[in-house]
């Protein structure tokens, strides 16, 4: 059977940027369009509203994590042509911001304020993807949105589901210990990170890994898992049924007490090495 046509939805940030850019470069002919989440969308409270919510729950200790993972990559993206020229990396897919990379490969893009809104629905009708893929995406798809793709949808989650459902699984894995890290591919479902498991691998990461670095590494591992799954879908003409597992409690951003306990154990959400990676994201491969 022919390869599935993919509607890819992402929030481009440090954890997934290099992995998803590599995926787009390798699979451009199979991608119907790429939906880029707007982190400042009004429905989520805008940038100020989101930061206020994080401060209320996690306190100021969460700010370096947010800045390195999301703020800096977003702030530096417009400077990519300059940083690429200085680093002589203009031709490298992994240093090219996703919108520019898609334009290079002729892949349509859409800024997504509401993944269940009329603009996305129109794009799905017009581009007729077979499959929806979310790879570090921060919006929840409703059943009718998932059903707009003939085969349904897949999500890549850098955690060992059903544990650590939610937006920051590597923080919760780091708090638990070195055997708690893993990568899961699962069916998209309206409930967050609750679809049937399609593939899962456990990884023992470096003892000094940060939550940020763990997320970057797991998203990179996920590319190999995803390739194998897409090969199977092409062969069988359908997404596998997968393994249904009990839905465990949702794991939100950490509260202040959790962060204090992690600091006491010497566990870091992010560090200077992650900062250097964020600064170099659009400059070197």
Q: Does residue 44 surpass a pLDDT of 80?
A: no
Cα 119-72-45 angle, rounded to 5 deg = 45
Q: Which of 222, 231, 190 lies closest to 203 in space, CA to CA?
A: 222
Within-domain flag for 1: no
pLDDT of the residue at 87: 77
Within-domain flag for 265: yes
Q: Residue 8 pairs with which residues in a beta bridge?
A: 34, 133
Contact 200, 160 (CB under 8 A): yes
Q: What is the mean pLDDT of residues 184-200?
A: 97
Neighbours of 163 (CB within 10 A): 18
Measured distance CA(174)–CA(267) in Å, rounded: 7
Q: Name the token pair of 272.
A: 């200077």
Residue found by looking up tokens 């629905």 in the block = 121
Most confident segment among 82-86, 155-159, 281-285:
155-159
pLDDT of the residue at 12: 96
Q: Does residue 43 surpass a pLDDT of 80?
A: no
For 132, the 3-state DSSP assignment is strand
**Contacts of range 21-27, beta carbons closer than 8 Å, 24 or more positions apart:** 21/93, 21/94, 21/96, 21/98, 21/101, 22/93, 22/94, 22/223, 23/135, 23/223, 23/226, 24/93, 24/98, 24/101, 24/102, 24/105, 24/107, 25/93, 25/101, 25/105
pLDDT of the residue at 271: 98
Among the ranges given (42-51, 122-131, 190-199, 238-247), the one the predictor scored with the smallest mean pLDDT: 42-51
Q: What are phi and psi of 36, to 5 degrees?
A: -100, 115
The pLDDT confidence band at residue 170, using thresholds 50, 70 and 90, is very high
Measured distance CA(112)–CA(133) in Å, rounded: 14
pLDDT of the residue at 49: 86
Within-domain flag for 85: yes
pLDDT of the residue at 285: 67
The pLDDT confidence band at residue 1, using thresholds 50, 70 and 90, is low
pLDDT of the residue at 123: 98
Contact 134, 153 (CB under 8 A): yes
pLDDT of the residue at 227: 97
Among the ranges given (12-21, 40-49, 64-73, 175-184), the one the predictor scored with the smallest mean pLDDT: 40-49
β-strands 197-202, 182-187: how paired? antiparallel
Measured distance CA(49)–CA(40) in Å, rounded: 9
Q: Does residue 279 surpass a pLDDT of 70?
A: yes
Measured distance CA(63)–CA(61) in Å, rounded: 6
The pLDDT confidence band at residue 40, using thresholds 50, 70 and 90, is confident
Q: Residue 218: which CATH number?
A: 3.40.50.170
Q: Name the token pair of 90.
A: 């203009």
The pLDDT confidence band at residue 280, using thresholds 50, 70 and 90, is very high
Q: Name the token pair of 12.
A: 């481009």
Q: 212-269, pLDDT tens digit by residue?
A: 999 999 999 999 999 999 999 999 999 999 999 999 999 999 999 999 999 999 999 9
The pLDDT confidence band at residue 165, using thresholds 50, 70 and 90, is very high
Indicate the number of domains in the chain: 1
Within-domain flag for 285: no
Within-domain flag for 284: no
Contact 32, 129 (CB under 8 A): yes
Q: Does residue 81 surpass a pLDDT of 90?
A: no
Within-domain flag for 149: yes
Which structural domain, as residue segments, surrounds residue 189? 6-279
Within-domain flag for 161: yes
**E runs forming strands in the chain:** 6-10, 31-37, 109-112, 131-135, 153-157, 182-187, 197-202
Mean residue pLDDT across the chain: 94
Neighbours of 251 (CB within 10 A): 20
Q: 82-123, pLDDT tens digit by residue?
A: 888 777 787 889 999 999 999 999 999 999 999 999 999 999
């Amino acid at each position: 059977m022919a390869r599935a046509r993919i509607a890819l939805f992402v929030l481009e940030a440090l954890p997934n940027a290099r992995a998803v850019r590599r995926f787009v470069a390798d699979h451009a002919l199979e991608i119907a369009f790429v939906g880029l989440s707007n982190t400042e969308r009004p429905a989520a409270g805008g940038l100020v509203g989101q930061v206020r919510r994080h401060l209320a729950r996690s306190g100021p200790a969460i700010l370096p994590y947010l800045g390195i993972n999301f703020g800096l990559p977003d702030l530096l993206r417009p400077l990519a042509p300059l940083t690429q020229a200085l680093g002589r990396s203009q031709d490298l897919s992994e240093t090219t911001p996703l919108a520019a990379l898609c334009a290079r490969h002729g892949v349509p893009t859409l800024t997504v304020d509401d993944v269940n809104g009329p603009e996305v629905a129109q794009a799905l009708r017009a581009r007729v993807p077979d499959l929806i893929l979310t790879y570090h995406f921060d919006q929840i798809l409703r059943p009718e949105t998932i059903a707009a793709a003939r085969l349904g949808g897949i999500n890549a989650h850098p955690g060992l589901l059903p544990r650590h459902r939610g937006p920051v699984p590597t923080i919760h894995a780091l708090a638990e210990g070195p055997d708690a890290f893993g990568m899961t591919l699962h069916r998209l479902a309206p409930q967050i990170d609750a679809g049937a498991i399609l593939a899962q691998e456990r990884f023992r990461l470096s003892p000094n890994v940060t939550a940020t670095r763990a997320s970057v590494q797991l998203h990179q591992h996920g590319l190999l898992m995803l390739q194998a799954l897409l090969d199977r879908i092409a062969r069988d003409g359908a997404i596998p049924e997968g393994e249904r597992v009990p839905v465990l409690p949702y794991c939100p951003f950490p509260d202040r007490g959790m962060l204090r306990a992690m600091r006491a154990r010497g566990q870091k959400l992010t560090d200077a090495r992650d900062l250097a990676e964020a600064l170099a994201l659009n400059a070197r491969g």
